[in-house]
Structures are given as structure tokens and as C-alpha cells.
Amino acid sequence: MGERYLSIEGIARRFPSAKGETTVFEDLWFSMNKGEFACIIGHSGCGKTTVLNILSGLEAPDDGAVIVDGRAIEGPSLDRAVIFQSHALLPWKSVLGNVAYAVASRHRDWPRDRVRAHAERFVELVGLKGSEHKKPAELSGGMKQRVGIARALSIEPKMLLMDEPFSALDALTRGTLQDEVRRICLESGQTVFMITHDVDEAIYLADRIVLMTNGPQACIAEIVENPLPRERRRLDLHKQTDFYAVRNHLIDFLVERSRTFKNSLPAGYDRRRPSVVRPSLAGEPVLSATRRSVV
């Protein structure tokens, strides 16, 4: 992982309600380095998707700012690609056509042959070689999601944003795609921000896991550093010494602390510098030295 790429600085989001106004979250601070894979976890209503929409430029925060690669986000950009829960494919285009459409949008000056060759490379990368000419109606759910992944990666974004992209898939397909995404991201050094409700998925994929308290008025409770080695295999997860330590820590937060955290803030809690913890079987989660800042 390299230098800092993303900086979320005190953002808030509010919406009109019957009682006047509802604050979904406020004063969120978080940063990421290039090549880092971060997952955000929290119960429905805490604003996870809203945060992702702000990162993508589809929404603007009511307070604060988001800095990406030295510039404040002011709208959508092809430097940030989004993979949605649904595949969102163009039904009249083939697998190759959907990917090529994205490539042509990114590289408007490229000739058709170059666009096609570039698109074919990413279709093959996600394991769809031989299915290039099939329409979305001819594909399984997992294959459609592979097309969505290929389309996002084909524009070679600086940052990949994923909104529970595997949630609608069966367990076997979900695991296969998780393996593919992890392999691709490790090989390419891709920076990824992902929403998930799946604790095991977060542990397998992420370098750091952001824990959000329940909404409304949600906040970041803490940042969990994944204690597992970055080079890891799904089949070996349960053999890793600290796998159950981090899993139990996350589940404890989701079941209990996510709803009580705001009413019993830990001593010294600072929204600008949420605690960074590294769960370990040795005992209590290890607090990173000097409560390392995330801004």
C-alpha cells in the first residue's frame, strides 16, 4: 500500500422528515492509502450507502468534504468506478458490448479495434472468455455480476466502490467472485471501498474494517485492522490464529455495541480520531500505538 489517496473530512448528511430533519450521520472522519481495501459495516439505516454515494459523487455532503487524490469530490468521475448490488447491465448489448461501452466512454479517442481488444482483456480477466457475445438474459446471476466487475475494472479507475455486490448470489458463486475480486485487486494494487453486511466477507477481503454505530446520527465507532496476513486463502482462514478473535470482535459490535456505543462513549473518544484496534487471541483488542489518527 502506498501514499494516502482518500480523505473523508467531517462529512454529514441530513434529510427532511416529518419532525423537521433527520441526521443520518455526522462528523465522519476516515482516510485510505492507495492499494488499500476497506470495508464498512453497520446496521441498515446508519448511512453506509449514502457514504458510498458521496464518494462516487452521486450525492453531496451537507457538511465537510471528501478529498480524493488531492482534489475535493464535486461530482461523478471515471476515476471512481461503482459496482452495484444489481448488475445494472444494458440488456440490448452483449457481454463484450457492455464492457466496451465503458471503455469507449473512458477513452473517446481510441479506435474501435483498440476498445474491443481492451474490453476482451477484462472479459477474460473475470473468467467470461467464450461468453463474449451472450446477452444479459442468457447469463446466470453470477455471470452478470462478473460483467459488472469487468466493466468497472476496464476503465482502470483509481478507486473501486462496491455496494454489497455479492449479496444476491448463492454461497458458492459469492465465494468464487470474492476470490476473483481479491486476486485482481492484489495483482493490480486497486484501492477499494466496499459496503458489506457479511462479517466473514469483510475479514477475507479487507485490510481495515470501519464500524458504524446505528443510525440516525450514526458515527464511526472504531477502525479494525485485520490481523490476518494480506496474502491469505479462503480455505486457510479458519486455521489463522486470530481469525476468531477478529470475527468475535465484529459480531460483538454488531449485536451489542453498535446500539449502545453513542450512549456510553469510551474515555477519550474523538470523532476525528476513532480508535484503531487489532483484535488478538492474546486477550483484549490491541489499541494501536498513540491512538493512531485516521485523518
Contacts of residue 216, Cβ cutoff 8 Å, sequence gap at least 6: 22, 23, 24, 25, 45
pLDDT at 63: 94
pLDDT at 170: 84
What mean pLDDT comes out for the span 162-174? Answer: 85
Nearest to 209 by CA among 159, 247, 239: 247
Domains of the chain, start order: 1-79+160-169+191-273 (3.40.50.300), 85-156 (no CATH)
Contacts of residue 134, Cβ cutoff 8 Å, sequence gap at least 6: 94, 95
pLDDT at 169: 81
pLDDT at 138: 95
The pLDDT tens digits of the residues spanning 27-36 come to: 999 999 999 9
C-alpha distances in angstroms, 202 versus 205, 211, 251, 257, 267?
Answer: 5, 11, 12, 18, 27
pLDDT at 292: 44
Q: Which residue has the higher pLDDT, 47 or 285?
A: 47
The C-alpha cell 466477507 sits at: 201
Q: Which residue has the higher pLDDT, 19 or 83?
A: 83
pLDDT at 184: 86
Q: Is 281's pLDDT higher than 80? A: no
Amino acid 63 reads: D
What mean pLDDT comes out for the span 169-187? Answer: 86
Q: Is 273's pLDDT higher than 50? A: yes
C-alpha distances in angstroms, 203 versus 124, 212, 238, 247?
Answer: 27, 16, 11, 7
The pLDDT tens digits of the residues spanning 98-151 come to: 999 999 999 999 999 999 999 999 999 888 999 999 999 999 988 998 899 899
Q: Is 40's pLDDT higher than 70? A: yes
**Could you tell me the sign of the dihedral formed by the alpha carbons of 123, 129, 133, 136, in that order?**
negative
Q: How confident is the model at residue 285 (pLDDT cuts 50, 70, 90)?
A: low
pLDDT at 287: 58
Q: How confident is the model at residue 290 (pLDDT cuts 50, 70, 90)?
A: very low
Give the separation between CA 50 and CA 218, rounded to whole angstroms: 12
pLDDT at 286: 57
Cβ(1)–Cβ(207) below 8 Å: yes
The pLDDT tens digits of the residues spanning 3-21 come to: 788 999 999 999 987 778 8
In this structure, the strands spanning 4-17 and 63-68 are antiparallel
Q: How confident is the model at residue 52 (pLDDT cuts 50, 70, 90)?
A: very high
Nearest to 168 by CA among 147, 152, 144: 144
Please state the separation of Cα 148 from the chain's center in Å. Answer: 15
Contacts of residue 65, Cβ cutoff 8 Å, sequence gap at least 6: 9, 10, 11, 72, 73
Q: Is 167's pLDDT higher than 70? A: yes
What mean pLDDT comes out for the span 83-108? Answer: 91
Share the mean pLDDT of the chain: 89
> What backbone torsions phi and psi does residue 213 show, to the nearest 5 degrees?
-75, 170
Contacts of residue 187, Cβ cutoff 8 Å, sequence gap at least 6: none
Give me 130's grid cell.
Answer: 467464450
C-alpha distances in angstroms, 3 versus 35, 70, 85, 93, 101?
Answer: 9, 11, 29, 39, 32
Burial of 150 (0-12, 13-18, 19+ CB in 10 A): buried
Cβ(27)–Cβ(43) below 8 Å: no
C-alpha distances in angstroms, 229 versus 122, 153, 190, 191?
Answer: 28, 25, 18, 18
Burial of 133 (0-12, 13-18, 19+ CB in 10 A): exposed
Q: Is 89 left (phi over 0), alpha (psi -120 to 50) or beta?
A: beta
* The pTM of the whole model exceeds 0.85: yes
**Lowest-pLDDT range of 50-64, 151-165, 218-232, 270-284:** 270-284
